[in-house]
């Protein structure tokens, strides 16, 4: 069989070894072996129910496929690299097990719809596993938020001190962003969950198949609507590559901040020894390498999205062999963001928060200037005029190496006679934070509401993932045991 495919009748000679190596996809699509067997079990069950192949042949095929599934689970399934893909491997092994009846398995289908079905099933699980990993990180961020409702630190815009915020709000900002990323995966899984099987090469089949039956057996909500679109489109792959890129970008943003916060200049956090590395020459170093590596891996994930966009940009309908190249990029990108999210969940859960350094940093950058302006507004000063008054006070402080809190009441009255003793309480960072109690704001009261919403969002998504996992597992149990 070396160098020859099952369907080599059209050709007089075997495939050149160089051609085999160039066209082989086994190293990549071998990851779909389990799903290929599940798809075949559903297909043969339908062929039997529709009396398209004899009952005894269908039963023999089912028995053989179940043996292959057992060998795959037991680790004894061996790939034959003289065959170009996983689909051929399984069909050849099946025929070796049960004889010529194995050749009837491919009735009413093509490798085109077969591979699309396998890949969708693989991607459903990979996407849900990625959501699990992202949700673990979200839970770690939520835990930090719970413990630091009143921990105050500078909030930044343009990497300049802007206004005081709570650490709870900062952690929840990342949690909500990552929650949207996880929701995109859930949306994508729902959108892609239509079964390609039965579309055949591109035009459907003349056999009286039941596509709804195979869709139900494999956990899909419906069959796909158009056979040409089914085998010729990979928008669901590109969508998942985009979703993975968004997770990678969110992770990179979080990691960038933690790298800065871990530096001596900030000193806001200290990384746990288990998630840090040392220097080969500088014994004092404790490097935040996990964060840096996660930030660095963003490039390859975004690259996978670019690969999919370029690979599919000019393809005519229906199937083209270019689409063999759709698997590795998205498989690798999903695995990368999954690994990164999993380890970042541990980094966040174990890092030490240096509350006092965060609070001390709020004394820099005139972080309460807006609150002084708001104070003047409460005294009847128009905001634009108040803005100018505070700007003058800030210039004076900068010239004299002071902060606003250092000014005396007499000095404040020099800028506006409306300023009274209560200005000092109004400008304290604690007051600044507590007064920002608008919906979505940084006050402890506001972040309590945000945390409750984030926790509910996490619970709902975890429930949805479990339900889908149970649905798919039930499908496999039926196909393997009933």
Distance of CA 103 to the CA centre of its chain: 40
* CATH class of the domain at 8-107: mainly alpha
Q: Does domain 112-150+166-361+450-481 have CATH number 1.20.200.10?
A: yes
State residue 14's pLDDT score.
Answer: 63
**1, 82 contact by CB (below 8 A):** yes
- For residue 243 the two structure tokens come to 């979703």
Asked whether 239 and 188 are in contact (CB, 8 A), the reply is yes
Residue whose C-alpha is closest to residue 290's, from 347, 247, 245:
347
Catalytic residue among 2, 8, 263, 279: 279
Q: What is the pLDDT of residue 10?
A: 57
480: tokens are 């393997």
Q: Tokens for 277?
A: 């590395």
| pTM, to two decimals | 0.91
The 3-class secondary structure across 18-61, one letter per residue, is HHHHHHCCHHHHHHHHHHHHHHHHHHHHHHHHCCCCCHHHHHHH
Question: What number of H helices and E strands is found in the chain?
Answer: 19, 6
Cβ neighbours of residue 208 under 8 Å, at least 6 residues apart? 50, 52
Could you tell me which residues are beta bridge partners of residue 154?
164
Catalytic status, residue 158 = yes
**What pLDDT score does 2 carry?**
37
Q: What is the mean pLDDT of each run of 10 residues along the chain (482 residues)?
A: 48 63 79 97 98 98 98 95 90 96 96 97 98 98 98 95 95 98 98 98 98 98 98 98 98 98 96 84 80 97 98 94 92 98 98 96 89 93 94 94 92 93 91 94 98 98 98 98 96
CA dist 412 and 2 (Å) reads 89
| Sequence ranges of the domains in the chain | 8-107, 112-150+166-361+450-481, 369-427
Between the CA of residue 196 and those of 44, 211, 216, what are the distances in Å?
A: 15, 9, 12
Assigned architecture for domain 369-427: Orthogonal Bundle (1.10)
The residue from 158, 280, 314, 401 that is catalytic is: 158
């Amino acid at each position: 069989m070396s160098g020859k495919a099952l369907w080599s009748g059209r050709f007089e000679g075997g495939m050149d070894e160089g051609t085999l190596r160039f066209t082989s996809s086994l190293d990549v699509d071998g990851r779909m072996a389990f799903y290929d067997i599940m798809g075949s079990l559903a297909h043969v069950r339908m062929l039997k129910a529709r009396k398209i192949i004899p009952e005894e042949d269908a039963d023999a095929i089912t028995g053989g496929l179940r043996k292959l599934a057992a060998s795959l689970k037991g680790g004894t399934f061996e790939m034959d690299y003289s065959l170009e893909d996983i689909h051929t491997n399984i069909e050849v092994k099946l025929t070796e097990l049960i004889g010529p009846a194995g050749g009837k398995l491919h009735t009413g289908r093509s490798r085109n719809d077969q591979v699309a079905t396998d890949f969708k099933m693989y991607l459903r699980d990979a996407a849900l596993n990625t959501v699990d990993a992202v949700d673990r990180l979200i839970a770690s961020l939520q835990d930090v938020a719970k413990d630091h409702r009143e921990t105050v630190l500078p909030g930044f815009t343009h990497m300049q001190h802007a206004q005081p915020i709570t650490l709870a709000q900062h952690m929840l900002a990342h949690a909500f962003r990552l929650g949207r990323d996880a929701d995109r995966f859930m949306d994508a899984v729902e959108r892609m969950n239509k079964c390609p099987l039965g579309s055949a090469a591109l035009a459907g089949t003349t056999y009286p198949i039941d596509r709804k039956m195979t869709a139900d057996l494999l956990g899909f909500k419906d069959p796909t609507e158009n056979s040409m679109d089914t085998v010729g489109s990979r928008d669901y792959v590109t969508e998942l590559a985009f979703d993975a890129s968004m997770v990678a970008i969110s992770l990179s943003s979080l990691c960038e901040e933690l790298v800065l916060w871990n530096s001596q200049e900030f000193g806001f956090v200290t990384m746990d020894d288990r998630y840090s590395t040392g220097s080969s020459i500088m014994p004092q170093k404790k490097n935040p390498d996990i964060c840096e590596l996660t930030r660095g891996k963003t490039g390859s994930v975004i690259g996978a999205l670019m690969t999919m966009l370029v690979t599919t940009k000019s393809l005519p309908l229906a199937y083209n062999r270019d689409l063999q190249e759709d698997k590795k990029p998205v498989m690798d990108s999903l695995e990368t963001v999954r690994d990164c999210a999993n380890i970042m969940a541990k980094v966040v859960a174990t890092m030490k928060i240096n509350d006092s350094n965060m609070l001390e940093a709020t004394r820099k950058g005139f972080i309460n200037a807006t609150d002084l302006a708001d104070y003047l507004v409460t005294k009847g000063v128009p905001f634009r005029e108040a803005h100018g008054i505070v700007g003058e006070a800030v210039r004076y402080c900068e010239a004299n190496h002071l902060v606003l809190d250092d000014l005396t009441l007499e000095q404040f009255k020099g800028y506006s006679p409306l300023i009274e003793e209560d200005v000092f309480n109004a400008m304290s960072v604690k007051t600044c934070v507590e007064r920002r109690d608008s919906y979505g704001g940084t006050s402890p009261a506001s972040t309590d509401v945000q945390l409750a919403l984030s926790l509910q969002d996490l619970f709902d998504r975890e429930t949805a993932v479990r339900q889908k996992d149970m649905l798919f597992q039930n499908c496999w149990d039926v196909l393997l045991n009933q």
